[in-house]
Amino acid sequence: MKVVGINSTAASFKSIATLAKNIFLLVLLAFMGLSVSVVNAENSEVKTTGVKKSAASLDELLQMIKTATISESKEHAKRESEFKQAKARQTQKLKDIQSIKAAEERKAEQLEKTYAENELKLAALEEQLQKRLGTLGEMFGHLTSAAGDTRTTLSHSIVSAQYPGRTAFLDELIAKMSSNTQLPSMEEIENLWFTINHEMVEGTKVVKFPAMVTNAEGEQVRQQVVRVGAYNLFSNGSYLTFNPGAGVIAELTRQPSGKYTGAAMELEQAGGEFTQVGIDPTGPSGGSLLAALIHSPSLMERWHQGKAVGYIITVVGVCALLLALWRFLVLMGVSRKVDAQLSSETVDSDNPLGRVLQIGEENSGLDVESLELKLHEQVLKERPAIELGIGLLKIIAMVAPLLGLLGTVIGMIVTFQAITVFGAGDPKAMAGGISAALVTTVLGLCVAIPTVLLHTLVNGKAQRVLHILEEQSAGLIAQKAEG
């Protein structure tokens, strides 16, 4: 590529074109009849390298054109020289880069050769290591397994609430043995053995230690915590739970019944004597037994599970109880008055027996048949007041179980509708729905059974009074017949 020659030729052509243009201008001026004088020549202008200058004559104008041509040639020569120098520098850089590339390629080949040699050496060393380890490799495998099991146990143990950060060295030990690059030291093996024994010993202790506890309101309070082995944590009579991942001790939002929390408070206040307390051995920090105990609904919650039908059964049961008590008290008063009338020879009309005896005295002159009818009529008049409400008690005792059955059927319908929508994949949800549906049956029976007993008691009182009235009426009739 001869770029310089082409540029030089182009510059020469450009100078010739400029000269031809100027000559053409002179010919054109002569053709138009302009006088070639000094005055006219003063108005001529030639642009040379960006500078305007007036020519005094045609010779001067020609000289100026020649000077401009020479100047442009020098400028092109300068540019050509700069281009050649830049090309030479780029050529040198290219040579330097090619030299560096060749050196790096030789270095890469050397590194690849070294890498292959190191691979062979490493394989030989690993084989030598395995031969020297022998049965120790199997032992270290068991050691790794024991360390992993211990780490899992410690991470879920409530003992870590008192001694946090116990698994840090186990993580390092397992990572070291898993890499197959380092062997555990005797100190690390003894530390693992000590940690396992420490967990076993702490699982037999009942200790008290200070810790930050998140209460039911979400506030963190520093207070004394009692740990019962590896089973449960207590504080201020409340059961606590421990989150190993976050290292947080929190109070259970729902506590078991009062006797368990009371026993926990007694344990905290105990001075070394034996104290009964409820613990859950099925899991650390509360397992399935404690969860079942906590989530068992209370009596009031059971009652609310009956919903509308349960409320109706409760109202009916309360009405039956009030009615039975009212009638029992009334009949107790009537029975006392009748007993007083039996032991008195004076007829008193403030009780049923007195009114029956008064009818007998007022109609003593009638024949036996008429007197019997009069006394029977009076007994019939007394019967409704004595048996008032007894029939309603009997009806309530019969209706309450039916209402309970109605509530159960409604609850089962709702349960099967939920199964239709969500499926039967969650037996707990189904069992909960069925349990809530059976609450109304329990409520109905709880109302019916006492109502039957109350009906029997009240009815017995009423029948006793009626039996006395009939007995005394029959006595009057028999006395009349004998007289």
Is residue 110 assigned to a domain?
no
Distances in Å between the alpha carbon of 314 and those of 77, 136, 309, 413? 119, 75, 9, 22
Q: What pLDDT does residue 406 have?
A: 92
- Residue 206's Cβ-count burial label (10 Å; 0-12, 13-18, 19+) is middle
- What value does the mean pLDDT take over residues 430-456? 87
Banded model confidence at residue 465, pLDDT cuts 50, 70, 90: very high
Q: What is the pLDDT of residues 336-369, one digit of tens each?
A: 999 988 888 888 888 898 898 888 888 878 888 8
- Percentage of residues in the chain with pLDDT exceeding 70? 83
Q: What is the pLDDT of residues 190-230, one digit of tens each?
A: 888 898 898 888 888 888 889 888 887 888 888 888 888 88
Are 69 and 91 members of one domain? yes
Distance CA 354, CA 26 (A): 169
**Token pair 């001869």 is at which residue?**
2
Q: What pLDDT does residue 45 have?
A: 40
Amino acid occupying residue 306: G
Is residue 119 assigned to a domain?
no
This prediction has a pTM of 0.54
**114-123, 230-239, 376-385, 462-471: which range is least confident on average?**
230-239
Are 193 and 278 members of one domain? no
Are 274 and 380 members of one domain? no
Banded model confidence at residue 5, pLDDT cuts 50, 70, 90: very low
Is residue 219 assigned to a domain?
yes
Q: Closest Cα partner for 265 from 326, 224, 210? A: 224
Torsion of CA 73, 74, 79, 85, to 10 degrees: 130
Q: What pLDDT does residue 110 have?
A: 93
Residue of higher predicted confidence among 157 and 282: 157
Is residue 369 assigned to a domain?
yes
Most confidently predicted of 80-89, 108-117, 158-167, 432-441: 108-117
Last residue of a domain, one of 266, 296, 326: 296
CA atoms within 13 A on the CB side of 109: 6
Is residue 20 assigned to a domain?
yes
Distance CA 308, CA 403 (A): 11
Are 65 and 150 members of one domain? no
Are 211 and 198 members of one domain? no
Are 286 and 312 members of one domain? no
Range of the domain at 171: 134-202
Are 79 and 214 members of one domain? no
Amino acid occupying residue 402: L
Are 230 and 192 members of one domain? no
In the chain, how many domains are there? 4
Q: What pLDDT does residue 483 have?
A: 65
Q: What is the pLDDT of residues 383-397, one digit of tens each?
A: 999 999 999 999 999
**In this model, does residue 162 exceed pLDDT 50?**
yes
Are 197 and 213 members of one domain? no
Banded model confidence at residue 42, pLDDT cuts 50, 70, 90: very low
**61-75, 136-150, 209-223: which range is least confident on average?**
61-75
Are 70 and 186 members of one domain? no
**In this model, does residue 316 exceed pLDDT 90?**
yes
DSSP category for residue 185: P
Is residue 111 assigned to a domain?
no
Distance CA 426, CA 437 (A): 17
Are 98 and 18 members of one domain? yes
- CB–CB of 303/443 below 8 Å? yes
Are 38 and 146 members of one domain? no
